[in-house]
Amino acid sequence: MDGVHDMGGRQGFGVIRYAPNASVFHAEWERRANALYGLAVRHGIFNMDEYRHAIERMSPYHYMSASYYERTLTSLATLLVEKGVTTREELEKLAKGAFPLAGPSAAGRSNLPDRQQFKPGDRVRVRNEFFAGHIRMPAYIRGKQGVVVRETPAYPFPDAHAHGIQAEDEPTYDVAFRTEDLWPNASDSAQVHVGVFQSYLQKED
């Protein structure tokens, strides 16, 4: 889905700040939220694609103003409510106030029925598609050409896996893109490698 979460390749956010020795957690609640999320996945309450999609469904203001673990907590709480483990009322009672959750999900989709096999050296183009559900296709590669470098092991197709739809596992391909093709007249000459699911690609003559 297109949303504020898809920030790859975007400009205007300034220099990325980082601290080499920063702590993983800055408060005890962050450690607990992370542990509960891992426990829920381990017990099969939801999967990683459902978790990512619940974060994508946060309102733009909430997403942009939330910290990393606030997003984790919002996704966790949203999915636990949707799965019937708890209720919003129970969460708000514990929080002694409003407990914001992510918005509703859209419908998913299954694998592309006529997807193609690729090999290293093949020229490919990313399908220029727009989809309301969960998708692992960064917007900045949509419609762009690249070259397959290698194939990785198969994984559940995220567009289906995030929505509880049965679908076949499929590989991702390490595709090399020229920066000049991704951002014409706006970048130094280099290559960007992206793991792209099979259903997102088509062979380029």
CATH of the domain at 142: 2.30.30.50
Looking at 105, 140, 166, the residue that finishes a domain is: 105
Contact criterion met (CB below 8 Å) for 159 and 199 = yes
pLDDT over 90 at 102, yes or no: yes
Q: Does residue 45 fall inside a structural domain?
A: yes
Statement to judge: residues 19 and 87 lie in one domain: yes
55 and 140 co-located in one domain: no
Residue-level pLDDT at 4: 85
Whole-prediction pTM value?
0.91
18 pLDDT tier (thresholds 50, 70, 90) = confident
Residues 27, 63: one domain?
A: yes
pLDDT band at residue 7, thresholds of 50, 70 and 90? confident
Same domain, 35 and 85: yes
Instruction: Give domain status of residue 131, yes or no.
Output: yes
pLDDT at 1 over 80: no
DSSP 163: T
Same domain, 144 and 196: yes
Q: Do residues 41 and 86 both lie within one domain? A: yes
Burial annotation 88-99 (CB, 10 A radius, 16+ → b, else e): eeebeeeeeeeb
CB distance 173 to 193 below 8 Å: no
| Residue 118 within a domain | no
Residue ending a domain, choose from 76, 105, 134: 105
**pLDDT score of 121:** 97
pLDDT at residue 205, as a whole number: 79
Residue 19: per-residue pLDDT: 86
Mark whether 9 and 75 lie in a shared domain.
yes
Residues 98 and 156 in one domain: no
Q: Domain for residue 161, yes or no?
A: yes
What per-residue confidence (pLDDT) applies to 79? Answer: 98
- Considering the domain architecture, whether residues 3 and 81 belong to the same structural domain is answered as yes
pLDDT tier at 186, thresholds 50, 70, 90: confident
* Per-residue pLDDT, 11: 77
Q: Which of 189, 186, 134 is nearest to 6 (CA)?
A: 134
Confidence grade of residue 6 (pLDDT, cut at 50, 70, 90): confident
Domain annotation covers residue 173: yes
Query: Is 129 a member of any domain?
Result: yes
Residue 26 shares a structural domain with residue 100: yes
Range of the domain at 157: 123-203
CATH number where 44 lies: 1.10.472.20
pLDDT digits (tens, 9 = 90+) for 66-76: 999 999 999 99
Number of domains in the chain: 2
- Mean pLDDT over 94-122 rounds to 95
From the list 159, 104, 108, the residue with the least C-alpha distance to 135 is 159
Verify that 100 and 159 share a domain, yes or no. no
Domain boundary among 105, 134, 167: 105
